[in-house]
């Protein structure tokens, strides 16, 4: 199973991001979406799970949760926008992967047996950080991440 990760679009959905996410089984947007049109466009690719970011304050985002726990087969994912807001112990909760956005900085790191991922920003460039998305590959009880830097 392939899960596409995108974050921090801030209203800009680049064609390169859409192309990189083609063929995924599910999509996750880790917040700072920028408008409902972004969600509609992503839903054309695959089923979509979304969390609200700190810039998603308008009425269209009121029903979007601040965090989600998702299960894909044997793998449990916890999604939130800002990793600094993580208020659970992922390992104790049986979480395999923590997904966040907010910083615009790609992150692919294992901590205490839990994989932490931030696909980076797929929207407007911040500082000199890369523009990117990620794919989570799930095979039974194994999970690996593929970080994709977009040429823009």
Predicted TM-score (pTM) of the model is 0.96
What CATH number matches the domain at 2-149, 1.10.10.10, 3.60.21.10, 1.10.287.80, 2.40.50.140? 3.60.21.10
Question: Domain limits of the chain?
Answer: 2-149
pLDDT at 131: 96
136-145 pLDDT, tens per residue? 999 999 999 9
78-135 pLDDT, tens per residue? 999 999 999 999 999 999 999 999 999 999 999 999 999 999 999 988 888 999 999 9
Q: Residues 98-101: contacts with CB within 8 Å, 24+ apart? A: 99/5, 99/28, 99/30, 99/136, 100/7, 100/30, 101/7, 101/8, 101/30, 101/31, 101/32, 101/53
């Amino acid at each position: 199973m392939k899960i596409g990760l995108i974050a921090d679009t801030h209203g800009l959905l680049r064609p390169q991001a859409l192309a990189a996410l083609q063929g995924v089984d599910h999509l996750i947007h880790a917040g700072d979406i920028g408008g409902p049109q972004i969600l509609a466009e992503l839903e054309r690719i695959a089923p979509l799970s979304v969390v609200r970011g700190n810039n998603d304050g308008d009425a269209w985002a009121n029903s979007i949760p601040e965090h989600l726990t998702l299960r894909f087969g044997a793998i449990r994912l916890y999604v939130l926008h800002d990793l600094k807001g993580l208020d659970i112990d992922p390992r104790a909760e049986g979480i395999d992967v923590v997904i966040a956005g907010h910083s615009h900085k790609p992150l692919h790191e294992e901590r205490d047996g839990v994989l932490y991922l931030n696909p980076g920003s797929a929207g407007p460039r911040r500082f000199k950080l890369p523009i990117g998305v990620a794919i989570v590959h799930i095979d039974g009880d194994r999970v690996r991440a593929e970080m994709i830097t977009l040429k823009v």
